[in-house]
Amino acid sequence: MTASSQPICVAHLLFGDGVWGVENYVYNLLASSKASSVKTLIICTSKGVISEKFSNTNVEISYVPVRGYSDVMSIVALSKFFASHKVDIVHVHLGLDSFVGTIAAKMAHLPVVMSVHFDQPNYMNYGLLARRVWNVGQILKNKAICHFLPITQNVARELMSREDVSEKKITVVHPGIPVFQAEKSYRSALRTELGANDDDVVVVGVGRLEPEKNFDCLVSAMAKVDQKSRITVWIVGDGSQREEIEKLIANLNLQNRVKLLGYRNDVKKLLAAADIFVLPSKAEPFGMSAVEAMMAELPVIGTRGPGLGTIVDDGVTGLLVPADDAESLATAIQKLADDDGLRQELGRAGKARAIATFSSDKMAEKINGIYQNVLSKSLD
């Protein structure tokens, strides 16, 4: 608490109009049982998909139309907003909001906390000179930030090595989700709707249909499993690769075994109706959909790497296979499809791990503690 014994007031800056998953991170933080100990404000640049995410919450949503990194007027307006709303801590997340928000916070004499969601930021794809310039800018900005919350140990290592952040200013905080029970009562109805029988083994994958998510590898793997096995795949999500994946399904004659469901707002029900979860990403900074699947008591098949390797305990809560290896993925799918006992064993262990390590309450407890520490130091 602050000196006045009021809840700490934290302003989360969520700039942009795309879906990065960061909005889910903050949404799940607000869903925690610890949320009431902090007063949260959400600041966006405009109404859109990010602000819509919070429309069913009691949190205050405000808009500051920041137009770029050098928008001085908006930086000043943001600083005044912090003062008028008695903000105690500014919490930033991505590129634009981290630069603009940090400058505005410093003008208002407020501490800044930054969650770091990616091990490879966008500027790492730039040319050599631009990359170096951006890296210098990041290093300078980082000196003004009080504490960093990378989502995995790998992201923390990248932050320390690439952007010269001291280990003393870092606390790894895994994203969390609210604990829930899979509603098995939907299983039969959803399977009937989507053309699967009760005794089929349903494999579900959830994610954007983009190259890095690599769902074409899952389709290719399905061409390699035993065609006599009653295995059905549901792929939930949409994106630029949809047409390409549809063509691959047709070319492999898998129309009856692989279904693209597009965007759905009933993912938890689909998880409850499935038997196996697959996330075939080429690279994954974390993999929140895998946590959700574990919470639904599904065994997870993922790709080896620091992101999913943080979530999935290979052979205990699921199976890890090499990235972009359809043969290995097919073998893992077949192994779980053929062994109901193993599926249940891994699913139970995954549920326990998700609750113990990746719940929104665990996430909020850590972050609220960091808020307290940062604020107490700033008041010294």
Distance CA 217, CA 308 (A): 17
Q: Could you give the domains of the chain?
A: 8-176+360-379 (3.40.50.2000), 184-357 (3.40.50.2000)
Element of type H or E holding 151: none
Residue predicted with more confidence, 210 or 119: 210
Residue (of 297, 304, 323, 132) closest to 212 by Cα position: 323
- For 280-316, write each residue's pLDDT tens digit: 999 888 889 999 999 999 999 999 988 899 999 999 9
DSSP readout, 70-120? T-HHHHHHHHHHHHHTT--EEEE-SHHHHHHHHHHHHHTT--EEEEE--SS
Q: Comparing 63-72, 146-155, 240-249, 342-351, which segment has the lowest mean pLDDT?
A: 63-72
Structure token digits, residue 71:
């928008």
**47-56, 128-137, 321-330 — most confident range:** 321-330
Angle at 371 between CA 365 and CA 373, to 5 degrees: 105
Q: Is the dihedral of CA 335, 340, 345, 350 positive or negative?
A: positive
Pair 65, 43: CB distance under 8 Å = no
Whether residue 337 contacts residue 229, with contact meaning beta carbons closer than 8 Å, is answered with yes
pLDDT at 2 over 50: no
* 5 vs 162: CA distance, rounded Å: 39
- Number of helices (H), then strands (E), belonging to the chain: the values are 15, 12
Number of neighbouring beta carbons within 10 Å of residue 135: 17
- State the helix-helix crossing angle for 340-357 and 326-337, rounded to 10 degrees: 100
The answer, yes or no, to whether residue 378 has pLDDT greater than 90, is: no
Amino acid at residue number 260: L
- Report, in angstroms and rounded to the nearest whole number, the Rg of the chain calculated over CA atoms: 22
Q: pLDDT tens digits for 348-358?
A: 999 999 999 99
Query: DSSP class of residue 7?
Result: P
Q: What are phi and psi of 264, to 5 degrees?
A: -135, 145
Q: Are 335 and 228 in contact (CB under 8 A)?
A: no
Tell me the per-residue pLDDT of 111-142, one tens digit each, with 9 for 90 and over.
999 999 987 777 777 788 888 888 888 899 99
| Cα–Cα distance measured from residue 265 to residue 55, given in angstroms and rounded to the nearest whole number | 15
Under a CB-based contact definition with an 8 Å cutoff, are residues 285 and 22 in contact?
Answer: no
Instruction: Please say whether the beta carbons of 309 and 283 come within 8 A.
Output: no
DSSP label at 65?
-
> What mean pLDDT, rounded, does the chain reach?
92
**pLDDT at residue 3 above 50?**
no
Q: What is 322-343 written as a DSSP string? A: -TT-HHHHHHHHHHHHT-HHHH
The sheet that has 231-236: what strands, in order across it? 258-262, 231-236, 201-206, 276-279, 300-303, 318-321
